[in-house]
């Protein structure tokens, strides 16, 4: 990997998400050599991916170059690569671009979509965990509409403009709301030769309420907001398969649709090589102690979504979202320096600042630890928090400008099929009329 040898201890960080960037910032100029690895050369602000998918924001506005973050850090290296395996015996990682020795290893690989083993769903549905995936969803929505315009068969036409979102966590709910607004703001205006009122947005949830990690009050408010936007909500329905045309469920209910967006589950993005005992089955997260140290290893740590720290309050580990990742990254940065200096470490304690979700124009729900509210004020709080969580002044300015424009004009200009999503053709149509 062409990293210079030095007398400084080498800390290797795998992943430049919220956790990885947080620890990188803490290790700035701390007399250690740091190597940060990621398969993308940018950090992704995942909470706004759904706005990229629905044309409200450009991809560049929610991505930030990793090399720019560490530009002025001493003894800091970035390498663009995917890590294949950890060789704990020889203290090295094995990557696409070669091996690298570590003194301390920080695994911050985050999470990936969980299909619960169903390969057919994985093959036929869309996920939304990365920017390219969001752009694929955007392209597919628009391609479906272009195809629907051409399609004479009514069943095919309806399938093309029927969208089914599986999983009603924050991602599914926010995407459902954004799709409903996209219908009004763009699609009804852009496709006058199509009956866009037939477009359906179906949100399917296996549990008995949406946003089930939030308060009941917020669940209820979010449900009302979605219904007012025309989203159909299906609770207590478990999707069992999707063959590319038809969704089957655990009841007699089925959906005919060309587009399934799967947000029903996440699992840790684990890497091969760790002792099986340190990996939690099914969720694929890595078991860590209160210092984020991986069970069984002195010099390997895991932070963020991939790490599962089982505490009294969080027996299944902390929620897989930005806040625990940021806080663990911050603390581990400080603890690693302490560890190197033989000072006592500080145990992690999660400071739950609350959670929120936006459903649409003037519509959001916010859960603070002791207070839950929703509506216009919640929506402003949501915007404010997200705007200031973005890295980079310019991204903030461009996102703000887009939001103001979209709000005032009831419009979204990002309806561009720049990279077509090459889907297996859903309908084959012969158009012989002239």
Contacts with its own copies by CB under 8 A lie at 1-2, 4, 40-42, 58-61, 63-65, 67-68, 71, 77, 79-80, 90, 92, 97-101, 131-132, 135, 142, 146, 149-152, 189-193, 392-395, 397-398, 401-402, 405, 409, 411, 413-419, 429-434
DSSP state of 276: G
Q: Which is nearer to its own copies, 193 or 208 (CB)?
A: 193
Question: How many angstroms separate the CA atoms of 130 and 128, rounded?
Answer: 6
Residue among 380 and 405 whose Cβ is closer to its own copies: 405
**CA–CA gap between residue 333 and residue 22 (Å, rounded):** 8
What the block records as the tokens of 285 is 């997260």
CB of 424 to its own copies, least distance (A): 16
Max CA distance (Å), the chain: 80
Cβ nearer to its own copies, comparing 77 with 379: 77
Nearest alpha carbon to residue 127 among 136, 116, 119, 117: 136
- The count of residues in the chain is 434
Tokens representing 322 are 């930005």
* Separation between Cα atoms, residue 387 and residue 59, nearest integer Å: 15
Tell the smallest beta-carbon distance from residue 136 to its own copies (Å). Answer: 10
Compute the least distance from the CB of residue 104 to its own copies, in Å: 15
Complex with its own copies: residue 153 or 216, whichever CB lies closer: 153
Nearer to its own copies, 149 or 376 (CB): 149
Report in angstroms how near the CB of residue 154 gets to its own copies at its nearest: 13
CA distance 422 to 40: 22
Minimal distance, residue 167 CB to its own copies, in Å = 25
Task: Say if residues 247 and 241 touch (Cβ distance below 8 Å).
Answer: yes
Pick the closer one to its own copies by CB: 130 or 289: 130
Shortest reach from residue 65's CB to its own copies, in Å? 5
Q: How many CA atoms lie within 13 A of 234 on its CB side?
A: 20
Token couple for 412 = 């979204």
**Triad 219, 370, 50: Cα angle to 5°:** 40
Q: For its own copies, which is the closer residue by CB, 363 or 415?
A: 415
Contact criterion met (CB below 8 Å) for 395 and 389: no
What's the closest the beta carbon of residue 77 comes to its own copies, in angstroms?
6
Which active-site residues does the annotation give? 174
92 within 8 A of 104, measured Cβ to Cβ: no
DSSP 191-244: -TTS-GGG-EEEEE-SSSSSSTTS-HHHHHHHHHHHHHTT-EEE-S--EEEE-S
Residue 85 β-bridge partners: 94, 272
- Give 262: exposed, middle or buried? Use CB within 10 Å, 0-12, 13-18, 19+: buried
């Amino acid at each position: 990997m062409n990293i210079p040898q030095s007398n400084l201890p080498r800390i290797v960080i795998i992943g430049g998400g919220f956790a990885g960037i947080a620890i990188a910032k803490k290790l700035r100029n701390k007399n250690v050599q740091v190597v940060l690895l990621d398969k993308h050369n940018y950090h992704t602000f995942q909470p706004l991916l759904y706005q990229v998918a629905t044309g409200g924001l450009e991809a560049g506005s929610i991505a930030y170059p990793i090399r720019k973050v560490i530009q002025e850090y001493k003894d800091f290296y970035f390498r663009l690569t995917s890590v294949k395996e950890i060789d704990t015996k020889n203290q090295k990682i094995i990557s696409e671009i070669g091996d690298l020795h570590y003194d301390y290893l920080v695994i911050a690989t985050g999470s990936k979509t969980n299909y619960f083993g169903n390969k057919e769903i994985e093959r036929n549905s869309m996920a939304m965990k990365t920017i390219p995936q969001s752009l694929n969803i955007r392209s597919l929505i628009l391609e479906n509409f272009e195809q629907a315009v051409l399609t004479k068969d009514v069943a095919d036409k309806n399938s093309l403009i029927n969208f089914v979102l599986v999983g009603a966590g924050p991602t599914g709910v926010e995407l459902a709301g954004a799709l409903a607004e996209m219908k009004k703001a763009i699609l009804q205006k852009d496709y006058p030769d199509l009956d866009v009122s037939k477009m359906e947005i179906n949100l399917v949830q296996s549990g008995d309420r949406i946003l089930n990690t939030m308060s009941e009050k917020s669940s209820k408010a979010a449900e009302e907001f979605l219904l007012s936007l025309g989203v159909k909500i299906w609770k207590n329905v478990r999707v069992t398969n999707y063959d590319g045309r038809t969704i089957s469920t655990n009841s007699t209910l089925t959906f005919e649709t060309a587009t399934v967006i799967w947000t029903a589950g996440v699992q840790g993005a684990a890497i091969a090589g760790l002792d099986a005992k340190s990996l939690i089955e099914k969720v694929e997260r890595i078991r860590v102690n209160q210092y984020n140290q991986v069970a069984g290893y002195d010099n390997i740590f895991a932070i963020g979504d991939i790490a599962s720290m089982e505490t009294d309050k969080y027996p299944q580990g902390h929620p897989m979202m930005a806040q625990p990742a940021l806080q663990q990254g911050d603390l581990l940065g400080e603890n690693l320096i302490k560890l190197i200096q033989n000072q006592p470490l500080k145990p992690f304690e999660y400071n739950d600042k609350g959670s929120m979700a936006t459903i649409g124009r003037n519509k959001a729900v916010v859960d603070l630890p002791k207070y839950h509210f929703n509506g216009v004020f919640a929506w402003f709080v949501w915007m404010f928090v997200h705007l200031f969580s973005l890295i980079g002044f310019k991204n903030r300015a461009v996102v703000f400008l887009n939001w103001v424009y979209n709000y005032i004009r009831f419009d979204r200009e990002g309806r561009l099929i720049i990279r077509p999503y090459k889907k297996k053709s859903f309908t084959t149509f012969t158009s012989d009329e002239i």
